[in-house]
Amino acid sequence: MKTSMRRNLALAATKFLLASTLFFTSSGLENNVRAITDKSPHSYPSAIRRSTPVQSNQKRFEVELERLECDHTTESGADEVYILVTGKNSDGKQTFSERLPSNHPREASGHWDMNDSGNAANNPKGDSRHITNKSLFVSNIGDGDAWDLVFVFMEEDHGAKGENVLSGFGEAMAATENPYAIAAGALVTILTESGVLELNVDSDDVIGVVSLHVTNEAGKITTSWNAVDRVPQRFPFKNAFQYEFNGDGSFYKAWINTKYE
């Protein structure tokens, strides 16, 4: 190979590495943190508030599940994992509730099949060891506004009592004075009363719960994270946290990243 061609290939490789995602390692654990410069379209689970133009006094804010990894399932075989996201704005008017990947309890489209064997990622036709790049929340946050958000990682067994439980869960959480600081026992009560969890049946399982408080103060975005329930450890990274979940005998690791522009 000619020397000039080698130089061109080396230069191209260097540029690629510099532009690639940064990896931070702590105690042998990796976290993928991406800069907020990607202007390409995203595939969001729903259209709620996700395509609203950003106004001059606003910041577009996103919470993204960079990676969820299954190291031990809650039961023999695969787990059917879904995520409940709920919250309210400081204006007292805007609320948010969503089930990911979709609000279809007891259906294949309403969960991700995850297992602690193999190394499949985002497998549409079977079990995945890990899933990546799932948008959990997007909103345009105005100057002086704040959001309190709760992220409930669940495993589906018997399944919630239909699609209507999501609205009931969201309304109950919105009525909570401070969702960010909700106690684990209070959250379980809301999950039970809204029908997400059921008594005396093979009910769904809570894998882990975290909450977030985000504010926009004169264009400066500030975030505070809280480990609510079944989170034995967490590790901070730039713009992100890695959480460990151990609900119902499981062991999951979640890398959750925040972005704004």
What mean pLDDT is predicted for residues 63-84?
A: 96
Q: Are 195 and 160 in contact (CB under 8 A)?
A: yes
Question: What's the helix, strand, coil split of the chain in %, to 5?
Answer: 20, 45, 40
Q: Are 95 and 170 in contact (CB under 8 A)?
A: yes
Between CA 253 and CA 236 the distance in angstroms is 13
- pLDDT surpassing 50 at residue 63: yes
Kindly report the CA angle at 84 between 174 and 39, in degrees rounded to 5? 100
Q: How confident is the model at residue 52 (pLDDT cuts 50, 70, 90)?
A: confident
What per-residue confidence (pLDDT) applies to 202? Answer: 80
Between CA 240 and CA 35 the distance in angstroms is 11
* Residues 129-180 pLDDT 10s: 999 999 999 999 999 999 999 999 999 997 666 667 888 899 999 999 999 9
Phi, psi at residue 111, to the nearest 5°? -155, 170
Task: Tell me, yes or no, if the pTM score tops 0.85.
Answer: no
C-alpha count within 13 angstroms, C-beta hemisphere, residue 230: 23
Residues with Cβ within 8 Å of residue 113, at least 6 apart in sequence:
78, 79, 80, 81, 123, 126, 127, 128
* Residues 3-48 pLDDT 10s: 444 444 444 444 433 333 333 333 233 222 222 222 223 333 333 3
What per-residue confidence (pLDDT) applies to 22? Answer: 33
pLDDT over 70, % of the chain: 79
